[in-house]
Structure 1
Amino acid sequence: MQQLGQPVGTDPQVGLTRFVGRDSEVDGVAHLLSTTPLVTLVGPPGVGKTRLAAEVAGRVADQFAAGLVPVPLATVTTGEDVAATVAAALRVRQGPGTQLADALVAATRDEQRLLLLDGCEHVLDTLAALVHRLLATAPQLRVLATSRVPLGVPGERLHQIRPLAPDAAADLFLDRASLVTELVLDERTRQRIDQVCDFVDHLPLAIEIAARQTRVLALPALLDRLRTALQHSPLPMPTSPEHTTLAATIDWSCQRLSGAQQRLLADLSVFAGSFDLAAIAAVAGERDGLLADLTALLDHSLLLSEPAAAGELSYRLLEPIRQHAAARLTQTGCSQQIRWAHAHYFLEAAGAEARGLMGPGGQECFARLQHMEANVLAAAGWARGTCSDLALRLVTCLVGYWEHRGQMNAARDRVEALLEVGMPAPRTRAEALLALCRLGYRQGRYRQAVAEAQEALVLMRSLPDQDGAARVLRALSQVAAACGDVPRAAACAEESVAVFAERGDRHAHAWSLTVLAYAHLCSGDIDAGATAQAAALRLVEPAEPAPALTRRTRVGMSYVAARRGDLVAHRRHLAGTIADLRLLDGLDGESEWLWSAVCLASSEHRPRAVLRLAAAGARRARRGTALPPLVDGIVRAAIADAEGALGPQVAAELRTEGAGMAAEELVTEALRPASTSSPLSPREHEIAMLTGTGLTNAEIAQQLVISRRTVETHQEHIRAKLGVTSRQAVIAWALTGESG
């Protein structure tokens, strides 16, 4: 029996190394043990089940009068030996004419004891029957088990152990590395440690293996070797001396799968990041038993499931397990077939989401593309050497998403690199050139973008593809206007508008109208620009929100308001733009709202805000987002006026502040009341302005990522401070310029 004060559990390292990163989890499991007879810690190989169990047992051991009894089961080879191993740990002997199980029942019936069963997955059936019997007859007995598979005993409470949080993973690496070497902890070293931990998916065992390698490898060399040699480096396993590597402990779990389950695990290795059931079926094939095999992988903790949007589940493989499975897939000879299926599935799925970005539900399309990005890039990386046309189509699907995220430079690099490989089909080349034209507008590479659009237009018309040609005309209009060729810009936009109007495509029609509005504004015709923007907004049904599209119209309307000197409308349209970007999770990627905010702050004589907001816009410019010529002069003049008013030293300090501000801080700065006499706080003012755009409390709560009740409380405070009694009065306050 375990004596108090000694290290507990079956890991020889317990008590010799520091426990890192799971203190709150220890408390949680300890609480479960106080309310549940059987708690099983489940998780993938190397996640730290044994160590966590030992820490929990040590925390609660003194609560059991009969003490704690550790039972190491990893070396038990047959079910027949299970009862004998438990009996040996309990120091129970089999009397003459009695069954050993009966003796165990008699020994535990009346004692308050904690039984720690470590490494149960390979003797489940026999062990589960024994545990069930013991718990049924011993009301004061508690069992804490570790297993890669649930025991399946009635009343069992599962606790899923996940990999460490990033900070805890880095802490563990530093702690274990300090046992074998000395690291100079500068910023670069910490970045490399984070990279090591990210690569092994924050899996504790893999981190410990990596940390021990620092005795002979510098961190850059360690990162280079992670993909091959590291996973086979020796490290004694806590549960079995036979498992001397991470690969061995993963292989141990895989051997307990059926042939079909092993094949499914190998097929899943082509996925990067998360994936859903539809993707699994497309890659592994619809077949009888697929769900049962998938469940087995989850039960063996070789596959993780996580909640996704709309109540769905997503799945992922930890990187060390994925690498092990990928090696198996190569051995099967089916790798190319599976990768083709993977690439074509994500080409179709990402293409569908990309086509919906500007339409109703565009925010959901952005979110789904975010989850698909890793898989699309993985498929493109494989296809580059097999079918460059497929690789280019895959990457082109993500350009609208990357544009929204403000990743213009990276997007262009990927598309251009693949355009230079092989001979893409005419349609593939046309779509890629169109994507480069759109990126070129955002980057300020206008003349290059015109050339790309002209070639794309020739290709689209030769296919022939009227829809594609209209999309190219829209992009060509935008870059032609930026180059100063306004007549050509207007003609291209009008032709695009006519095509989409005839086809009845409301959202494409509205998008083209926003580009026609841009051409008018570049010509100085503010009224014509405002008319086109308003027409675009009317095409968007209120019942079908399309935030990516309404954002474009509101940015344009904010420019119109700025040119007309209408500060009330400017502020209202800016608030609406921010609201749309919040829905798209795009505040940090998009920069157009920032130049609108700079112009508003300048018009309202807020020079400090001008410089902070302009610095944030400059930070985004380094990622490839240039100011449109239409507003470049206005913004430059606003910055010069602010610097002149505050002086160079204060201006430099404000630019530094602005460059480091988070998106939500910038929103507060942008919508800050123009006068200090405003009775509202910045947050109240923001909610009042969003109320003025017509949003309900529920919609405001969604945009600001706060509860509806919090919004309602703010609304009560707003009405009290303004001395009004109705929502309509708040809307009137927001719309009439009484915001200061």
Structure 2
Amino acid sequence: MITDLGPFVGRDDLLTTATTLLGHVRLLTLTGPGGVGKTRLALRVATRLDEHYLADLGTLHDPGPQHLWAHLALALGIRHHGAAGPDVVLAHLAHRPAVLILDTCDRLVPQAAAVATHLLSAAPRLRIMATSRQRLGVDGEHTLPVPPLTRADAADLFTRLAAAGGVLPAALSNRHTVDELCRHLDGLPLAIKLAAGRARTMSLPELIDRTGDRFSLLTPLQRVVDLSYQLCTPDEQALWSATAVFAGPFTMAAAAAVAGPGDITAAVEGLVDKSVLTAATDTHPARFSMLDTLREYGLRRLPDENKARDRHRDHYRDYLATAATDWFGPRELAIMDAVRQELPDIVTAVDHSLATGAVDDARALCRDLARTRAPYFWGFLDLAYTQLSRALPGDGNPAHQAVTAAAAGWIAATQGRPDAARTLLDPLAGLPIPPVQFAIAAAGVLLDDDPDAVTRLAAIRDQATHGDRNMVTMMWAIGAAFHADTTAPATHLAEAEQAGAPWAVSWALWTSALAAQRTGDLDRAGDLINRCLRLQRSMDDQWGQTWSIELCAWILADTADTREPDRRRAAWLLGAAHARQQRLGVHLAGMRPFAAGHRRARTRLHALLGPDATADEFAAGRQGHAHALRIALGEPTPRHASAPRAGGLTTREQEIARLVADGLTSAQIALRLRISARTADTHIRNIGGKLGRPNRAAIAAWAAQEL
């Protein structure tokens, strides 16, 4: 019998899952990277069940059958004179209800598999738990991956271990610093234990600084990862090093591009089997990720990092060029979602391009990122603008530089920042380059309500293709709609519907609703904006919803002559739209036609409701903007609710709360939602803070009732 006296933090869900599984299966293999805590978990599971024994195969130097069975006999406490072979071990276990832990099977997977098969066949009351970086691969085996600790649990473990080692409480009082350290340590219990030991002689900021060279700081961690590397084939080792250049989860196609010529399928499967890569196969395509600890080790083993990073850059440059061309169509939501998932590696590719002087590659990456429209849909416009600004300086191709400046100026215009937009766009005015002329004309529509800009956009349309043509059409339709021209919006809607592009259709409905409002066809305007809002809700398009809520308020203000509830709803929606614009970093005052539409609606409401009532409703809308969509659509929701719908949770937080209620662990949530376990854990802590719920059980209880 083995007693585990150290602190055991977190893992409650995993402990329950493993215990339940071992009640139904006879061979359970806990897999995961070295140092993740597989042995500790196995011991905790075993203590909940029958009599248990631990046989550490990692200490066995001679893997021959005679030595292996003798090693098992010693672990089982069998007293036997002479050679202890399989018969002796089987006689001891034949009718005994026991759990045998075959620990650290990594170097002896074939031998461990043979022993497990032999024992389970001859000892019907025996159950075996194996711990290994990879599964044993025998019939009847059930595999349970052991992920790193969540951020909260990692911080708790570090604090307990450091305090037990004599570190003063004041040194551990900054929870943010502890969290940051544990993030750098990947939540690996071994790394946390080693770092807690170093905390006796180093401050937490010093430890964080040294985690960039974690293998020198935490020497035993180097030996653990060395073993993982030695267990890999040469092809797996080469792929491990090559894929270490990725900043986030990556696809098989991306890995193949970085690895160079040759089929990498077997090597990827081998790295997944050995817990070097984690596969999320509930996405399409599947994505693979690597702990930072393993990534740093792989980079150290990479013979030519610059060459690998060049291939990485080229892959993402080509990927974005294709996405920017193909996004307008039925797959546009999937394409924009994929771009969002690739964002960490896109930024990494830009960094490498600028560091190596490949400025035109950096510009292509940044321009095409903006052209995919993902920054608008997913709300990372500021990041896209920053990347474009970084890529502007330098020599390179002057035309590429001009188009990059135009892309940055266009983003500034869509945010209502006329000074920044004009600084970038005015010097480009004479250049006959279609993307440049589009940005200048489109900015003229948004910032100046310029009728000549609308005419120029109509001419530019024939010079663009695919998604770029749709964007020219959209801005042409918006400019025309502000001047009560219904022809361009009708063309916009027809082309978007023919393409089967849902995001484009939503904006075409918006432009048509604006045109109808401007021509006084308010019933049609209301119908179109409601269709637009429902489509945007189905896509969770926060950027589009903001402008639709604003336009809905204008339409209601124009139809509110006789119905006071519509007047109040219009004022409330103006406030909600204002709050959302602030959250998105949009300055409506800098966009002349929008600012004029807003002022016109508010002036009408002042006349109909009075300034005080309008201000009260506007303030209420700002406060309760989280459920503005329901108000805009006329669905039953109290406009003066003290708290937003769903406890103030975002759409993603509501989704995670439901998964918590379904009993999923942070690791399982991460796989389901294509995020890291650390991100899932951060969301859960934020949910608990918003709801005032102290733990997962309380969150689950709330979600089961409210969502």
Residue 168 of structure 2 is aligned to residue 181 of structure 1: yes
Aligned to 2:241: 266
2:475 counterpart of 1:515: yes
Contiguous gaps of at least 5 residues in structure 2 = 561-565, 646-654, 660-707
Asked if 1 retains the 8 angstrom alpha-carbon contact of 2:447 and 2:593, the reply is: no
Residue of structure 2 equivalent to 1:89: 75
Contact 2:572 2:620 in 1 (8 A): no
Comparing 176-185 and 550-559, the one that deviates more: 176-185
User: Which range moved further: 667-676 or 571-580?
Assistant: 667-676
Distance 2:439 2:546 in 1: 19
Alignment correspondent of 1:531: 487
Say whether residues 1:401 and 2:401 are aligned partners: no
Alignment partner of 2:436 out of 466, 472, 479? 472
User: 1:547-601: per-residue Cα shift (whole Å, max 9, x none)?
Assistant: 2322322222332344455554444333333344346543268632342344356
Structure 2 residue aligned with 1:376: 346
Preserved CA contact (<8 Å) 2:326 2:467: no
Alignment of 1:73-84 (within 5 A): 73-80=57-64, 81-84=67-70
1:352 is aligned, of 313, 322, 328, to 322
SS in 2 for 1:85: helix
Letter in structure 2 aligned against 1:74: G
In structure 1, what is the Cα distance between the partners aligned to 2:183 and 2:33? 16
Residue deviations 1:387-441, cap 9 Å, x none? 2222222222222322333333332222112211x21213421331231122121
Cα deviation code 1:60-83 (max 9, x no counterpart) = 2xxx3xx11122233222213332
Task: Please report the TM-score for the alignment, with normalisation by the length of structure 2.
Answer: 0.80
Tell me if the contact between 1:408 and 1:442 (Cα under 8 Å) persists in the aligned partners: no
Structure 2 distance, partners of 1:582, 1:358, is: 19
1:247-267 Cα offsets, whole Å, 9 max, x none, are 221112112223332222111
Structure 1 residue 286 and structure 2 residue 265: aligned?
Answer: no
Residues 122 and 676 of structure 1: is their aligned pair in 2 closer, same or farther, counting only changes over 3 Å? closer
- Distance in 1 (CA, whole Å) between partners of 2:612 and 2:251 is 56
The Cα shift of 1:34 comes to: 1.3
Query: Residue deviations 1:591-614, cap 9 Å, x none?
Result: 323423443565522357336513
Q: Provide closer, same or farther for how the CA distance between residues 388 and 676 of structure 1 changes in structure 2, counting only shifts above 3 A.
A: closer
Q: What CA distance in whole angstroms lies between the structure 1 residues aligned with 2:555 and 2:327? A: 28
**Aligned-partner residue type, residue 234 of structure 2:** G
Q: Where does residue 631 of structure 1 map in the other structure?
A: 594
RMSD after superposition: 3.4
Distance of aligned partners of 1:545 and 1:172 in 2 relative to their CA distance in 1, 3 Å threshold: farther
CA pair 655-220 structure 1, distance change in 2 beyond 3 A: farther
Distance 2:177 2:415 in 1: 31
Shift of residue 315, structure 1, vs aligned partner: 0.7
Question: 1:277-314: per-residue Cα shift (whole Å, max 9, x none)?
Answer: 111111112325x322222211211111112533x321
The offset of 1:347, in angstroms, is 0.6
* 1:466 alignment counterpart: none
Counterpart CA distance in 2 for 1:568 and 1:213 is: 71
Given the superposition, is the C-alpha separation of residues 314 and 625 from structure 1 closer, same or farther in structure 2, using an over 3 Å criterion?
A: farther
Could you say if the C-alpha distance between residues 401 and 328 of structure 1 is closer, same or farther in structure 2, counting changes exceeding 3 Å?
same
Cα separation, 2, equivalents of 1:600 and 1:209 = 63
Q: Is the 8 A contact 2:448 2:593 kept in 1?
A: no
1:304 maps to 278
SS at structure 1 position matched to 2:341:
helix
Per-residue displacement from partner, 1:647-678 (whole Å, max 9, x unpaired)?
878865663444xx3xxx3322432348999x
In the alignment, the residues of structure 2 paired with residue 555 and residue 325 of structure 1 have an alpha-carbon distance, to the nearest angstrom, of 50
Per-residue deviation, 1:351: 1.7
CA distance in 1, matches of 2:616, 2:487: 44
**Identity of paired residues, percent?**
27
Contact 1:200-1:206 within 8 A present in 2 as well: yes
| Aligned equivalents of 1:86, 1:675: Cα separation in 2 | 67
Structure 1: runs of 5 or more not aligned: 9-13, 235-243, 462-468, 684-701, 707-740
Aligned AA (2:22): L
Q: Deviations over 1:151-190 (max 9, x none)?
A: 222211111112233443444444445443325999xx44
Conserved? CA contact 1:419–1:429, under 8 Å: yes
Q: 2: CA distance between counterparts of 1:215 and 1:643?
A: 67
Partner residue in 1 for 2:6: 16
Deviations 1:46-100 (A, max 9, x none): 222112112111222xxx3xx111222332222133322210011224566x761
Structure 1 residues 69 and 275: CA distance shift in structure 2, 3 A: same
The aligned residue for residue 572 of structure 1 is: 527
Counterpart residue identity of residue 443, structure 2: V
Cα drift, residue 220 of structure 1: 4.3
Which residue identity lines up with residue 104 of structure 1 in the other structure? V
Aligned AA (1:397): D
- Is the CA contact 2:533–2:545 (under 8 Å) kept in the aligned structure 1? no
Q: Does 1:672 align with 2:634?
A: yes
Number of aligned residue pairs: give it: 625
2:13 is the alignment partner of 1:27: no
Which amino acid is 1:134 matched to?
L
Question: Secondary structure of the equivalent of 1:475?
Answer: helix
What code does the residue aligned with 1:265 have?
W
Q: Distance in 1 between matches of 2:591 and 2:636?
A: 26
1:168 and 2:153 aligned: yes
| Aligned residues of 2:537 and 2:545 also touching (Cα < 8 A) | no
Q: What SS does the corresponding residue of 1:591 show, helix, strand or coil? A: helix
Q: Counterparts of 1:32 and 1:409 in 2: how far apart (Å)? A: 47
CA distance, structure 2, for counterparts of residue 590 and residue 625 of structure 1: 15
Q: Flag the 1:57–1:106 CA change in 2: closer, same or farther, 3 A.
A: same
Contact 2:533 2:548 in 1 (8 A): yes
Where do 1:199-210 residues align within 5 Å?
199-210=184-195
Q: Tell me the SS of whatever aligns to 1:605.
A: helix
SS in structure 1 opposite 2:58? coil
Q: Any conservation in 1 of the 2:536–2:544 contact (CA below 8 Å)?
A: no
Question: What does 1:137-148 correspond to in 2, within 5 Å?
Answer: 137-148=122-133
Aligned to 2:313: 343
The residue identity in structure 1 corresponding to 2:508 is T
- For the residues of structure 1 that align with 2:555 and 2:198, how far apart are their CA atoms? 56
Q: Relative to structure 1, is the Cα distance of residues 394 and 195 closer, same or farther in structure 2, using a 3 angstrom cutoff?
A: farther
Paired residue for 1:645?
Answer: 612
Which moved further from structure 2: 369-378 or 594-603?
594-603
Taking the aligned partners of 2:295 and 2:44, their CA distance within structure 1 comes to 29
Question: In 2, distance between residues paired with 1:316 and 1:482?
Answer: 42
- Whether 1:412 and 2:385 are equivalent positions in the alignment is yes
Compared CA separation, residues 254 and 447, structure 1 to 2 (3 A): same
* Amino acid corresponding to residue 629 of structure 1 in structure 2: R
Q: Is the 8 A contact 1:43 1:160 kept in 2?
A: yes
Any idea what SS the aligned residue of 1:309 has? coil
Given the two structures, how large is their TM-score scaled by the length of structure 1?
Answer: 0.77
Code of the residue aligned with 2:231 in structure 1: it is R
Pairwise CA distance, 1:326 = 0.7
The 1-side partners of 2:206 and 2:186 are apart by: 19
Is residue 2:100 matched to residue 1:115? yes
What letter is aligned with 2:271? L
- Residue type of the partner of 1:293? A
Contact 1:404 1:590 in 2 (8 A): no
* Change in 2 beyond 3 A, CA 1:401/1:639: same
Q: Report how far residue 455 of structure 1 moved.
A: 5.2
Q: Distance in 1 between matches of 2:182 and 2:532?
A: 38
CA distance in 2, matches of 1:514, 1:437: 18
The separation in 1 between residues aligned to 2:136 and 2:637, in whole angstroms, is 66
Question: In the alignment, which residue of structure 1 is the partner of 2:577?
Answer: 614
Closer/same/farther in 2, CA of residues 308 and 585 from structure 1, 3 Å limit: farther
